[in-house]
Structure 1
């Protein structure tokens, strides 16, 4: 089989309204927050971010994640071929099989949203290593993020809050935000040029942030990664655009024919590559290593699935992998933790929540 590479589909320009783009970038990547200033009134904090996510969602959805609320649990394993060991001493890259618990989701705080509410999808994974360590990662189907800093993300959230009269973001506020933050242009351009995939199974998922990999000799390098599907990419169809919940149905149908596979492609930074800016994509000609194959062989419901109680904090890493200097990483960790705390508390106080809410992602 030919070694896969990160897909470089031919750009296809599609109309995309400013308000729609704003709604997409406002709910991406799981609620980033600023961890500095926790005890300082008026400064950014995880509660301020999560409260704002709740406001953007429009109404309370107790027991659900504050972002990426709609999703489904998946499970399978990762077959390492051993090649990743040249970059990292992490046990996950030793040749062999590692159990994986995962989750697919779409952005937003509404667990009953349409699958087409965003062109972006997410894949979150927990690798349970044999030595007891875990590797958790949350990835998006876009190679870049919309903003550089937590402060920018907060301002973007504010600009994206629905107008009371229309229930939609105010285009004028979004236009002002983009004019003041030109760093958003690469993300906007990528979304406009790449139609969403027709399935969760034929999309690539990207780490977005950079991480530090350390090998057995102590050498450290910055790395980004992507899960690249063996299933060929195909754009969403008109029939799918008219459906509300086609992604889960499509995935279940595909799994009836056998497991689905992605290749873990590690991309190594060159000197001078930005490691602290998720809005900037590295060039395509970097060193890439196929570290093995992710195999997803079944799905389970959000109410009963193994991913239900997992906080996919991307800073929970095995020895041999560390966060980079990207300010969004520590911020993601803080926001994920607060979202997890709130939803699990709500479930404890009101265990009947998910007995009545069965359509959408639980966790």
Structure 2
């Protein structure tokens, strides 16, 4: 066999540019992953560092559980579009069809043993699977706007709330320094202090908070936010009710309500006007913006998250169908990245047998991973 065949020389010469291009692409991908992970810039804020801060803020790591909103229940049902959203987005679920979902109702905090009566923030997450094979994941909260405007401020807020090992409570000096550095947080603090607490998940409004883009079949783009507004009448808890509330009263109330009938929330989309901020979730849009009710979320059943469909779902808010895009809000991208890290850590806990429940610790059914 000849060592070099002259007939192969032209092919070899033509192949080199392609091989070089492939090498550059692979190298670029590797650099991108290195940058994202923080390997190339050790001082940069990464999803891993942010998740570490959340774990520290929890006081301890609860293996096998979500690092945030650890306590919750799985729910199932469907979204029923009413056709009003078709003019705004080409997403299939806005048509007059029923789209099934696997969802989760939860409370804020990193402890799966948290007390419902002390949880200021409540949440709803949905994974909707439309009949065209596309998926939409939503993660919504009971607060109407975010506490801070930037990712770095969000990280600093998390660090400021980390318990001091000596006292088991956050350091007041660090919290005061955070408030001085981020005066926009005063609006959120005022909401947390003055807004009434609902008596149930069923009569709580859940807000998307971050801005998104809807694109219709013609290619028209609108900046939007949305909320799930309950059809159940709102009722406020008194201070006495909160003090006396059972630690699991939200899940107990949910089961009692579902035994009587399904629960419903209307999806109300708010349309931005030119100049409304889309990159700052701490800035609410004016109340006079147009609102369009595009369909209804219907919860039919609930199961403990230990064996429910929601346990192994990462409710990444950037898993979106055609007709919906993320906005320029940097906190939206940060949430997506941190959710991924948290998901990978708890799934590793479960797969490796390190989850708390796998080593003999017992939690109420609705509080398991």
Residue 272 of structure 2 is matched in structure 1 by: 269
Matched, 1:38 2:7: no
**Stretch of structure 1 that moved more, 236-245 or 295-304:** 236-245
Q: Helix, strand or coil for the counterpart of 1:101? A: strand
Instruction: Specify every segment of 5 or more residues in structure 1 that has no aligned partner in the other structure, as ranges.
Output: 1-34
TM-score by structure 1 length? 0.88
CA distance in 2, matches of 1:204, 1:98: 21
1:283-362 correspondence to structure 2 within 5 Å: 283-350=286-353, 353-354=356-357, 356-359=361-364, 360-362=366-368
Deviation at 1:257, TM superposition (A): 1.1
1:108-187 correspondence to structure 2 within 5 Å: 108-187=109-188
Call closer, same or farther: CA 1:168–1:352 in 2, change over 3 Å.
closer
Residue 27 of structure 1 is matched in structure 2 by: none
Cα offsets for 1:215-239 (capped at 9, x unmatched): 1110101000000000111112423
CA distance in 2, matches of 1:324, 1:347: 34
CA distance in 1, matches of 2:117, 2:58: 16
CA distance in 1, matches of 2:57, 2:230: 32
Deviation at 1:320, TM superposition (A): 0.3
CA distance in 2, matches of 1:288, 1:54: 38
Q: Helix, strand or coil for the counterpart of 2:184? A: helix
Call closer, same or farther: CA 1:241–1:200 in 2, change over 3 Å.
farther
Deviation at 1:358, TM superposition (A): 3.0
Cα offsets for 1:127-171 (capped at 9, x unmatched): 111111110010000110111111001111111110122211122
Contact 2:63 2:354 (8 Å CA) reproduced:
no
CA distance in 2, matches of 1:241, 1:74: 27
Greater Rg by CA? 2
CA distance in 2, matches of 1:234, 1:339: 34
Contact 1:311 1:336 (8 Å CA) reproduced:
yes
CA distance in 1, matches of 2:342, 2:336: 10
Deviation at 1:38, TM superposition (A): 2.9
Cα offsets for 1:291-333 (capped at 9, x unmatched): 0111001100011111011000000000000000000111111
Deviation at 1:351, TM superposition (A): 6.6
Kindly tell me the number of residue pairs found equivalent between the two proteins: 329
TM-align CA RMSD: 1.5
Residue 28 of structure 2 is matched in structure 1 by: none
Residue 248 of structure 2 is matched in structure 1 by: 245
